[in-house]
Amino acid sequence: MLKVLIVEDEEIIRRGLVYTIDWLSMNCTVVGAAENGKEGLAMLKRYETDLVIADIIMPEMNGIEMLEAAQSLEIKPFRSIILTSYSNFDYARKALHLQVADYLLKPVDEDELKNTINRIRGSLEENKAYSNIVALTKKRDIGKLVDWDVYLNKDTLKNSYVAQTLYKIRDQYNEKISIESIAEEFDVSASYLSRKFKEATGQTFLELLTRYRIQKAIGLLKKGTYRVYEVSDLIGFSDYKHFCVVFKKYTKTSPTEFVKHIGCIIHK
């Protein structure tokens, strides 16, 4: 549920926004209502806020000044909507550099407000998904990503078959490889190699190979120079749809959604 702060000096408009808008239907809750920018800034420090709806012309501190001052606060990032009249429209446009999501003309049309909030919600969800992916790529968690400093250590290198299999994953992840083909090359049974590999790494051959491929896919997608299906081929997936399913399983978002989050205009 989005937490909304309303900052409006005209009482009739402020009360109308608080009490006549069906916030619940938009999955929102109003955490505070301020009479001016100074009071609004104080509420931003006090309450966790996702969205600020603010007038421009207000006593003590106007809406633009409040948003500028909020940038220096150590608070959770929030989105904002500026309320304006026709006479202040050009002034409102100055708010664009403050990353204002939209500016609405008074009196506020509830359907227009709802559409704006839905767009903001979608953007917030996308950013959250992307943040999760970024955190995932940075986290040195062997259960999620492949850290060769962890895997290629003295313990795993004790078994030469396991060590060579790890090197094959690292160097040939984009080729068609399997535990069976590697075992045949080493002239050992696939069941033996699978068992030793799992004992040494805590994961199956396919799990580790897949995680490393997805890790490489994330890196390629972040560059923004390849189409999604090209990335699928580059990391060793012969089937594009299967790649999309696997990518979403590990990152909680699809490859195309990931590309969208990082601002790349890449089409399937």
Are the C-beta atoms of 225 and 262 separated by less than 8 Å? no
Q: In this structure, what CATH number is given to the domain that contains residue 14?
A: 3.40.50.2300
112 and 53 in a common domain: yes
Kindly compute the dihedral angle of the four CA atoms of residues 22, 26, 31, 32, in this order, to the nearest 10 degrees. Answer: -50
DSSP state of 95: G
Q: In this structure, what CATH number is given to the domain that contains residue 199?
A: 1.10.10.60
108 and 34 in a common domain: yes
Global pTM value:
0.52
Q: Is residue 59 part of a domain?
A: yes
Q: Is residue 211 part of a domain?
A: yes
Kindly compute the dihedral angle of the four CA atoms of residues 136, 138, 142, 143, in this order, to the nearest 10 degrees. Answer: -10
Tokens of 147: 């850290």
Residues 6+ apart with CB under 8 A from 3: 28, 29, 31, 47, 48, 49, 50, 51
127 and 26 in a common domain: yes
The whole-number pLDDT of residue 267 equals 33
pLDDT per residue of the chain (268 residues) written in tens, 0 to 9: 899 999 999 999 999 999 999 999 999 999 999 999 999 999 999 999 999 999 988 989 988 889 889 888 888 888 888 887 755 556 655 555 555 667 788 888 888 899 888 888 877 776 665 566 555 555 434 335 666 766 676 666 678 899 899 989 989 999 999 999 999 999 999 999 999 999 888 889 999 999 899 988 988 888 778 889 999 999 999 889 999 999 888 887 888 887 776 553 333 3
Q: Is residue 22 part of a domain?
A: yes
Q: Is residue 142 part of a domain?
A: no
The number of domains in the chain is 2
The whole-number pLDDT of residue 265 equals 32
Q: Is residue 225 part of a domain?
A: yes
